[in-house]
């Protein structure tokens, strides 16, 4: 097991290096060149020269990359054109918002998707099975921003049940030791802020979680159906084991293996979806940061944001692979 983890960790090094090369090339491929890209189109000649010298654009490419990588490793991702703040601190400030939203969406998707898929498989071709099949098909066909807009309109605007903008009402005050608002409210025992921040989470989390929910439900259903027809399940039943025990120990546990993989693959979808969901609900996370960066051509922020998203994605896949190996010994010994 430890050997496997070490091997997977080592495999990350070339991926991360490759990512840094890709992002490095990205800025150099931008229309107008990196200096204009980083300073904006109305940059003066002086500032262009200054930044070119600063970036070492007169140096050979490999020297430039070396310098870039050095900056990257010391946590320097440049300065935002629009806020004049270091990109790293901007990213760090907004990361908890996106993380909190993603976790909430994931809880929604897994918490509902697994039971739904499981029950659908147990009542194979029953009403619930067919309903969940149709729902999951619509789920994979609906663009996340459309769903988000619909939810916002119905539950926020028309019914007025839930807030639709931001992470916290303006009348609620909260200290932010961690910037994870739910965690902050618990830490400071601020129960008003806790309910308010949870309420703010509901709609964005449902919007972001629905597509993964559809996929998780479908995979759980398919995996459960596969396992239900296995010999060991029949054997367990034949020897008179309590049906509930068979379901729990034999069926559910084995059916979870493909589900874990799929949940891991969903992270990419969740991160992408977060970019779109955050815009609709004015959620001050990495997604809105990246979109504003596109809008204002703030390439330093765009570059940093894409890098952070990709690194999170790679890390999550690593965690999924490791937990998969933990759950399924067959992988470990390969």
Partner 1 sequence: MSLAESEAAELHLERPSGLWRDALDRFRRNPGALVGVFLILVFIVAAVFAPAIAPYEPHKQVGPLATNPEGPTTGHLLGLDEQGRDLFSRILFGARLSLLVGFVSVLVGLALGLVLGALSGYLGGWIDFAIMRVVDLMLSIPALLLAIGLVTVLGRGLFQIMLAIGIVQVPIFARLLRGTILGQKEADYVLASRSVGVPKLRILLVHILPNSIAPVIVQATLAMATAIIEVAALSFVGLGPNDPGLPEWGRILAENANRLQQSAHLVIFPGIAIVLSALGINLIGDGLREAIDPKLRS
Please give the residue ranges that form the binding site for partner 1 (CB under 8 A). 14-15, 18-19, 22, 26, 29-31, 137-138, 140-146, 149-150, 152-153, 157, 268-269, 271-272, 275-276, 279-280, 290-291, 294-295, 299, 302, 306, 309-310, 313-314, 317
Q: For tokens 């039971």, what's the residue?
A: 115
- Which residue number, 246 or 301, has a Cβ lying nearer to partner 1? 301
- Which residue number, 33 or 169, has a Cβ lying nearer to partner 1? 33
- Which residue number, 5 or 306, has a Cβ lying nearer to partner 1? 306
**Dihedral-angle region of residue 251 (phi above 0 means left; psi in -120 to 50 means alpha; beta otherwise):** alpha
- Which residue number, 44 or 158, has a Cβ lying nearer to partner 1? 158
Least CB distance from residue 332 to partner 1, whole Å? Answer: 21
Task: Return d(Cα 256, Cα 105) in angstroms, integer.
Answer: 19
Max distance between CA atoms of the chain, in angstroms, equals: 84
Least CB distance from residue 291 to partner 1, whole Å? Answer: 5
At residue 168, φ and ψ (nearest 5 deg) are: -155, 145
Least CB distance from residue 217 to partner 1, whole Å? Answer: 15
Torsion sign (Cα): 167, 202, 272, 292: negative
Least CB distance from residue 267 to partner 1, whole Å? Answer: 8
- Which residue number, 182 or 302, has a Cβ lying nearer to partner 1? 302
- Which residue number, 222 or 233, has a Cβ lying nearer to partner 1? 222
Least CB distance from residue 73 to partner 1, whole Å? Answer: 18
Least CB distance from residue 139 to partner 1, whole Å? Answer: 10
Least CB distance from residue 190 to partner 1, whole Å? Answer: 32
Long-range (24+ apart) CB contacts under 8 A made by 182-186 are: 182/100
Are 259 and 216 in contact by the 8 Å Cβ rule? The answer is yes
Are 251 and 298 in contact by the 8 Å Cβ rule? The answer is no
Long-range (24+ apart) CB contacts under 8 A made by 80-89 are: 80/293, 80/298, 80/300, 80/301, 81/38, 81/39, 81/40, 81/296, 81/297, 81/298, 81/299, 81/300, 81/301, 82/292, 82/296, 82/298, 82/301, 87/300, 87/301, 87/303, 87/304, 88/304
- Which residue number, 49 or 230, has a Cβ lying nearer to partner 1? 230
Euclidean distance between the first and the last CA atom of the chain, given in angstroms as a whole number: 11
């Amino acid at each position: 097991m430890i050997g496997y983890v070490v091997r997977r960790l080592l495999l990350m090094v070339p991926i991360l290096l490759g990512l840094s090369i890709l992002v490095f090339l990205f800025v150099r491929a931008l229309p107008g060149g990196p200096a204009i890209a980083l300073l904006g189109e109305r940059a003066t000649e002086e500032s262009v020269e200054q930044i070119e010298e600063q970036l070492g654009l007169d140096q050979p490419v490999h020297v430039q990359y070396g310098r870039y990588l050095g900056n990257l490793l010391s946590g320097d991702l440049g300065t935002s054109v629009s806020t004049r703040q270091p990109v790293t601190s901007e990213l760090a400030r907004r990361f908890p918002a996106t993380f909190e939203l993603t976790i909430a969406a994931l809880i929604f998707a897994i918490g509902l998707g697994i039971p739904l898929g499981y029950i659908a498989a147990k009542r194979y071709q029953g009403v619930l099975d067919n309903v969940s099949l149709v729902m999951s098909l619509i789920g994979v066909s609906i663009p996340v921003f459309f769903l988000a807009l619909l939810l916002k309109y119905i539950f926020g605007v028309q019914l007025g049940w839930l807030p639709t903008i931001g992470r916290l009402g303006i009348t609620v005050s909260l200290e932010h030791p961690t910037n994870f608002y739910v965690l902050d409210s618990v830490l400071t025992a601020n129960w008003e802020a806790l309910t308010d921040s949870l309420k703010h989470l509901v709609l964005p989390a449902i919007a972001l979680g629905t597509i993964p929910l559809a996929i998780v439900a479908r995979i759980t259903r398919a995996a459960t159906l596969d396992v239900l027809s296995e010999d060991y399940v029949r054997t367990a039943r034949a020897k008179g084991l309590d049906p509930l025990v068979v379901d729990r120990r034999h069926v559910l546990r084995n059916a979870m293996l493909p589900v874990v993989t799929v949940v891991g693959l969903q992270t990419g979808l969740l991160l992408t979806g977060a970019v779109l969901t955050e815009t609709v609900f004015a959620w001050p996370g990495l997604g809105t940061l990246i979109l504003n960066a596109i809008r204002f051509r703030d390439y330093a922020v765009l570059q940093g944001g894409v890098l952070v998203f990709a690194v999170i994605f790679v890390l999550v896949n690593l965690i999924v692979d490791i937990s998969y190996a933990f759950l399924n010994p067959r992988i470990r010994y390969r």
